[in-house]
Structure 1
Amino acid sequence: MKASIKSTIASLVGNILEWYEYTLYAYFASVISALFFPSEDLSIRMIMTFATFAVGLAARPIGGIIFGYIGDKYSRKKMLTVTMLLMSVPTFCIGMLPTYAQIGIFAPIMLITLRIIQGIALGGEFGASCVYLYESAPEEKRGLFGTLALTGVGTGLVLSSCTIFIIESIFSKEEIFAYAWRIPFFISVIGAIIGLYMRKSLIETTDFTKAKEVNLLTDNPFKIMFKDHKKTLAKLFAIFLTTQISFFVVFIFGKSMMIEFLNFAPDIAGKFNLLTVVSYTLSTIVFGYLSDKINKKYIILFGLVGLAIASYPFIMSLKSANSSFILIMSLIMGAFIGATEGTLNPLVAESFPTQIRATSVAFCWNFTSVAFGSISPIIAMLLIKNTGEINSIAYYLMGVCFVSISGVLFGFMRKGNC
């Protein structure tokens, strides 16, 4: 039991550190856009920056396929050590990159290359940690433990947001553009050393060990997933539509939207973004715990309906620039996203058998992050540019919520699916 707890903590810590490293790029999007994609047109500059973000996400399914196969065929624990190293090296290298002003077009090319490597690492890491945490828990606590992977995501975002907030508070705008933007990327080296050391204590999960003992492991988990679980994938994707888009629009694009389109100071936008992420992180824990006691589909439905209702007031709060209103809506918005996404994770894990679980979980999260999430900041910017109003973001979120709610009601909640 003691070894199992240590392994769980090691997996969670590594997940936190990888999301810290990965989201630094998004939280410094305004700075990176000016340094690596110089353009007179703000919208073009920002679209190029988030297009690079999307390219990195597009590499996630590659990592998911590679490391999902390793996890299902050979070992759950091996993939977690490799992905840690694969993420940390390019993160440090981004901090070392010369800018467009120094080496011209080679700067964005090198940045894109490093983001692709990061994407492959994250694609392997997240699916691996989801499965490892889920399978490391007793049956009656798998909802909570399965949610911890999303708690790790939120915690990584909080650390990233806090680090950048400190940088923006200490250094002037000129200093940040000159050199200080690199500091958070260098700090990641410390976390990587700690994470790699802790992951030495990982033990194999009981589910995988039992499957291996009775010769249930398969040579082609990807083929079995598509052959026998097409309906399950379709139902899950309907929910992923909202969770991925809301996550990327609110957490990843939200700060840039406040700075570039609503004229918030970077530190003020960072504060409210941080509050939203903290609310999300705490919510994943609360609803993960409840998902062991209440039908997961009901919690997800609650989160989707709440998100649909809160989307418009959330955008209106940002437009109002009223601190109290923004605070309330940021906390509410983060809580509903956490309730939906956190509970979805153990639902995905329990929807597939052990011998294809690593591949299936990685495919669900990584494919939908590309298909739905990666392009959502670009869609959001185009909506604002073409309509001239950020209200369009609220309608965008409400629309995808309606699709997901329909998917839950007609997919999971029909007789025989509860």
Structure 2
Amino acid sequence: MGNTIEWYDFGVFGFMPAILGAVFFNAADPTDNVLGTFAVLAVAFVARPFGGFVFGPLGDRIGRQKVLATTIILMSGSTFVIGLFPSFATAGVLAPILVVLARLVQGFSAGGEYGGAATFIAEYAPDRRRGFLGSWLEFGTLTGFFLGAGMVTATTVVVGDEAMQSWGWRIPFLLAGPLGLVGLYLRTKLEDTPLFREAAAKNTVEASPLKTVLRTQWRGILHLIGYIVLLNVADYVMLTYMESYLTNALGLEGRTPLLVIMGVILAMMVIITPVGALSDKIGRKPLLYTSCAGFIILPIPAFQLMDSGNSVLLTLGLAIIGVLLVFLLATIPSVLPAMFPTEVRYGAFAIGYNLSTALFAGTAPYIVTKLVADTGDQLVPAYYLMGAAVIAAVPIFLLPETAGHSLRNVTSSTAAPRPVAG
């Protein structure tokens, strides 16, 4: 639910960047409006590492459940209030300032969300089903984006383009409030994870987990940063940037870009949990190798298909990127928590994940949009994905196989956990 709320926000921003840019920045050029919106998206990522440094170690000290209850209400609240803000035409420069402040809060709280949610699921899941159960976390990612994009699309259809630019854009943001309250209710009903409760009962909970993380887990954190470069770039190019690319870079008109993207995302939602279950049977690494190799070889053909002018080929090109991304999304919730021991798992995960996300994810839509506009080369997103795959290839190769292994046996960030007997 928390991941759904986080990505609902990205779906809303990603599917109406030109409208939000005009509302809050009032630029004369449509490309500048889009860049302004993507810059606001990127601002949130500046705060994410700080959230990771605060919420991650805090979750190792006081428990995963308490921190996750806090992050979900902060995330949903910061998205909700954007729907109440005045426009640039009403408040001038105060409008973008308020949006930036809200995005900073959203980014700070999101810095404690994903690492905590993945840790929570991984520590509850049976060892032989961690891939399947962990993949539901990324099902939440796709659901949130689908809901955000769908709400933008539905609101546009109902109120019309003119009203959408005037006041309709507020509706998708305001719906984040009720989503957050539902999520908060659910999280307050959960017990903390068995592994954390065991650590607390044995008095092995770290008194200063941040110091311990930085002293003992820095190699694992660097490994994690390199590994998820590809995930972050692919995630945000596919989910946040693609609608703008199809509309502005390729010049597609009408509802075709929205419908094609939403159709591919819906298909990703259907296959992601079976892929997670497959990783329990054959291991995580075969799926990771396939995804990494695919992102090195296939982006150029995929983007050429998108630029073919044929709706079927457009869908096929987008589906290629979507399937390769699913192989990553379905495995990381089970792979990353297994890199660190229980006492520092939340903190090490959150710090590494959010440093990588801040460096490579939040900047991706802005950088790619800028490069396409400056060079006129429609294949820039393909090059960007290929470069990320090359960077991630070595860290992915060095990852130990963790399928079927117990998280109780993880003793360091560089050693594979021991398999469970039976």
Matched residue type, 1:248: Y
Change (3 A) 1:266 1:86: farther
Give the unaligned 5+ runs of structure 2: 402-414, 418-422
* Correspondence list, 1:19-418, <5 A: 19-265=7-253, 267-409=255-397
Cα offset for 1:352? 0.4
Matched residue type, 1:353: P
CA distance, structure 1, for counterparts of residue 76 and residue 383 of structure 2: 37
CA distance, structure 2, for counterparts of residue 21 and residue 43 of structure 1: 21
CA distance, structure 2, for counterparts of residue 265 and residue 363 of structure 1: 41
Checking the alignment, whether the CA contact within 8 Å between 2:226 and 2:356 is kept in structure 1 is no
Checking the alignment, whether the CA contact within 8 Å between 1:131 and 1:146 is kept in structure 2 is no
Cα offset for 1:287? 2.3
Checking the alignment, whether the CA contact within 8 Å between 2:23 and 2:165 is kept in structure 1 is yes
Matched residue type, 2:54: I
Q: Give the match for residue 3 of structure 1.
A: none
% same residue: 28
Q: What is the CA deviation profile of residues 345-386 of structure 1, one whole-angstrom value per residue up to 9, with x for unaligned ones?
A: 211101100010111121222111101111111210222122
Checking the alignment, whether the CA contact within 8 Å between 1:259 and 1:269 is kept in structure 2 is yes
Q: Which moved more, 1:162-171 or 1:274-283?
A: 274-283
CA distance, structure 2, for counterparts of residue 148 and residue 64 of structure 1: 22
Please give the secondary structure, in 1, of the residue aligned with 2:282: coil
Checking the alignment, whether the CA contact within 8 Å between 2:75 and 2:110 is kept in structure 1 is yes
Matched residue type, 1:237: I
Change (3 A) 1:44 1:407: same
Cα offset for 1:280? 3.4
Please give the secondary structure, in 1, of the residue aligned with 2:343: helix
Checking the alignment, whether the CA contact within 8 Å between 1:275 and 1:330 is kept in structure 2 is no
Checking the alignment, whether the CA contact within 8 Å between 2:77 and 2:176 is kept in structure 1 is no
Checking the alignment, whether the CA contact within 8 Å between 1:91 and 1:185 is kept in structure 2 is yes
Matched residue type, 1:84: I
Please give the secondary structure, in 1, of the residue aligned with 2:392: helix
Checking the alignment, whether the CA contact within 8 Å between 2:80 and 2:177 is kept in structure 1 is yes
CA distance, structure 1, for counterparts of residue 355 and residue 269 of structure 2: 23
Matched residue type, 1:325: L
CA distance, structure 2, for counterparts of residue 67 and residue 410 of structure 1: 28
Q: What is the CA deviation profile of residues 180-203 of structure 1, one whole-angstrom value per residue up to 9, with x for unaligned ones?
A: 111111222222222222222111
Change (3 A) 1:266 1:227: farther
Change (3 A) 1:101 1:82: same
CA distance, structure 2, for counterparts of residue 60 and residue 305 of structure 1: 29
Q: Give the match for residue 7 of structure 1.
A: none
Checking the alignment, whether the CA contact within 8 Å between 1:248 and 1:374 is kept in structure 2 is yes
CA distance, structure 2, for counterparts of residue 90 and residue 395 of structure 1: 34
CA distance, structure 1, for counterparts of residue 230 and residue 184 of structure 2: 33
Checking the alignment, whether the CA contact within 8 Å between 2:55 and 2:67 is kept in structure 1 is yes
Cα offset for 1:19? 2.3
Q: Which moved more, 1:219-228 or 1:329-338?
A: 219-228
Cα offset for 1:221? 2.4
CA distance, structure 2, for counterparts of residue 411 and residue 130 of structure 1: 18
Matched residue type, 1:27: F
Cα offset for 1:17? 2.7
Checking the alignment, whether the CA contact within 8 Å between 1:58 and 1:370 is kept in structure 2 is yes
Q: Please identify which structure carries the higher helix content.
A: 1
Please give the secondary structure, in 2, of the residue aligned with 1:179: helix
Matched residue type, 2:53: I
Cα offset for 1:417? 6.9
Q: Which moved more, 1:293-302 or 1:280-289?
A: 280-289
Change (3 A) 1:110 1:162: same
Change (3 A) 1:70 1:406: closer
CA distance, structure 2, for counterparts of residue 388 and residue 301 of structure 1: 32
Cα offset for 1:219? 2.3
Change (3 A) 1:61 1:384: same
- Could you say what the CA RMSD is over the residues aligned between the two structures, in angstroms? 2.0
